[in-house]
Structures are given as C-alpha cells and as structure tokens.
Amino acid sequence: MSSRYKTLRSGFVTKRVLVSEMHSAGRLGPPFRVLAGHTYREPVQVFNRCMMPVYQMAFRWTGNRLDAEDVTTWVLTDEFTRLDLPRPVPDVDEQLIEAAVAAIGKHWMERYGVSALRWSAFLAGEAAAIWRPSPSLRALLEALPAELRLVTVLRFLRRRTVRQIANQVGVSPAAGATLIFKALAGIAADRGLGPDVDDTSQASELATFVDHLFAKRRPIRFAATAASFPALLAATSIHASIAGNDLPTARFVRSLEEGVTVGGWPAA
C-alpha cells in the first residue's frame, strides 16, 4: 500500500470486496480492513450501476442510439430475469458483460453478415471491457499520418460531406471516400481491431454508414467485407468519442427504470 494513504477512507470498492478503511503502510496492522463482501441485493442496484456502462458499450460498438437502445434493452430485460440475487458484484458484472457482447455480436451478424468467428476474436479484448470509457478522439487519431488525420477531423468533427472533403484536399469524390476509408482502417489496425488491408471496395458503403450515424438513423444493412468491418468499428468508436454522443436520452432511461421492481425485473 502506498504511503500516500495518510488518512482513513471509507467505501472503497475493490474487484471483490468493499473496503471500509485504509491507512498508511507505516502503521501497525494490515493496510486496510474488510468489513463485508460487496454484493447486489436488489435489481435496482444492478440497474443503477450497470445501465450506463452497458449503454455506452453498446453505443461504442454500434455507433447509433437506436441500436444501442436495442442492445441495452435486451441485456437489461432478458438477463435481469436470471440474476438470482443476492450475488457478488463481479459475478453479476461478468454475466452482463457476456450478455452485452453476445447482443452486439448478434447485431453485426444479422445486419452486416459478420461471422460469429470473426466477432468472437473481440470477446477477450476491447469488446469485453464494459467499464472502460470510450477512447478519446485524440487517442484514436494520434497514430494517423497528417492527411488521414485531417480528413477524419473534417468528416467527424466538422461534419463535412465526402464531396466537400474531396474538394478541400483536391481529389475526386471517389478518392475522398477512399481516403476516409483508409483513415478508419488505420485507426482500426492501430487499436488491434483488424489488419490494415488494401481493400477499399466498400468505401462508398462506409461513407453512407457514417452519414447515417450523423443523421441519428439506424444504418442500412449490407454485407461487410473482412476489410470494411474493422473500418466500421473505427467509425463507431470515433462517433462515440465525441462529447455527448454516447449519452442515453432521458426518455429511454425512464422507460427502463419503469421495469425495476422490488421483486425483480419482469420479462419484456
């Protein structure tokens, strides 16, 4: 225990237990005292802790509010019927993580033809980090070359169309869409979401996908290639990193809260 803990602290939650008190390592006795294991006892406790991170995880991996709401609703209705409270916090969290990952995978498989095998490559990595906040825009862009960083900023922050970006950098609209595709594929490769391959055949589909994210519409379905799937994930991550985008609406939160009862969460 670091010597910076000079005073008593209360309510510190570790992964497994609730720690009541801490003191510096220089004092006699253990550096902290455990009063009780941290457990969920009522569905409302699970809802209050888990609703926001489940929604933000869903938004980070779908990129739009409608699909994020679908994933969150499925997790917080279907899984709440299986909670069997009281249970330790880590056990419940793990159950909800697995449910959220499965729901997001179902989204990509049904809407974009992504195979279960391809999606399963993310289960032990970034996708399962349900409590991790969305990466910052700066972190996403820092590894890009200057030209690709510029077109990404113009597209996602300035909301310029592909044609406007192409005019600004002096290329054709098709070449502008290709630049944006390459930028997103580079971000995906840097984050370990897939190899940075040289197949830009779905650059126009990706451009339309991003247009729909900006319009807050559910993107249209299409069969994503192995090259475009990582670029799509990079687009959803960038969209989620922009302040305010990954926050649920009050209407949606209220609709979920209405399902929380003393006896549990009723089936949807």
According to DSSP H, which parts of the chain are helical?
43-62, 65-78, 89-112, 116-120, 137-141, 146-156, 162-169, 173-190, 203-214, 228-241, 250-257
Mean pLDDT of 4-14: 35
For tokens 């970006």, the residue is 165
Q: Which two tokens stand for residue 101?
A: 């990952």
- Residue-level pLDDT at 126: 56
Angle 61-64-66 from CA coordinates, rounded to 5°: 115
57 and 9 fall within a common domain: no
- Residue-level pLDDT at 44: 84
133 and 205 fall within a common domain: yes
User: What pLDDT, in 10s, does the model give residues 214-235?
Assistant: 999 999 999 999 999 999 999 9
CA distance 35 to 74: 35
- Residue-level pLDDT at 76: 86
Angle 171-177-182 from CA coordinates, rounded to 5°: 105
According to DSSP, residue 81 is labeled: G
Report in angstroms the alpha-carbon separations of 133 from 64, 130, 149: 16, 8, 22
17 and 107 fall within a common domain: no
107 and 140 fall within a common domain: yes
Burial class (CB in 10 A: 0-12, 13-18, 19+), 95: middle
184 and 96 fall within a common domain: yes
Task: Please state whether the peptide bond connecting residue 86 to the residue before it is cis, i.e. omega within 30 degrees of 0.
Answer: yes
Q: Which two tokens stand for residue 22?
A: 């801490």
Q: Is the pLDDT of residue 255 over 60?
A: yes
CA distance 10 to 138: 35
Instruction: Give the torsion through C-alpha atoms of 73, 77, 78, 81, to 10 deg.
Output: 160
Q: Is the residue at 254 inside a domain?
A: no
- Residue-level pLDDT at 131: 59
Query: pLDDT over 90 for what percent of the chain?
Result: 50
Cβ atoms of residues 33 and 20 within 8 Å: yes
Q: Is the residue at 183 inside a domain?
A: yes
Cβ atoms of residues 21 and 8 within 8 Å: yes
User: What pLDDT, in 10s, does the model give residues 126-176?
Assistant: 555 555 667 788 999 998 999 999 999 999 999 999 999 999 999 999 999
Q: Is the pLDDT of residue 12 over 50?
A: no
Which of helix, strand or coil describes residue 1?
coil
pLDDT higher for 253 or 21? 253
Q: Is the pLDDT of residue 124 over 80?
A: no
Domain that holds residue 5: 1-37
Spatial neighbors of 118 by CB under 8 A, at least 6 apart, are 226, 229
pLDDT band at 37; cut points 50, 70, 90: low
Q: Is the pLDDT of residue 236 over 90?
A: yes
Residue 234 phi, psi (nearest 5): -65, -40
Q: Is the pLDDT of residue 257 over 80?
A: yes
Q: Is the pLDDT of residue 36 over 80?
A: no
pLDDT higher for 237 or 193? 237
Mean pLDDT of 65-83: 89
Cβ atoms of residues 57 and 233 within 8 Å: no
pTM: 0.81
pLDDT higher for 52 or 257? 52
151 and 207 fall within a common domain: yes
Which of helix, strand or coil describes residue 217?
coil
For tokens 């006795």, the residue is 29
22 and 125 fall within a common domain: no
Whole-number average pLDDT of the chain: 81
Q: Is the residue at 258 inside a domain?
A: no
Q: Is the residue at 248 inside a domain?
A: no
pLDDT higher for 79 or 111? 111
pLDDT higher for 115 or 183? 183
- Residue-level pLDDT at 9: 34
Q: How many domains does the chain have?
A: 2
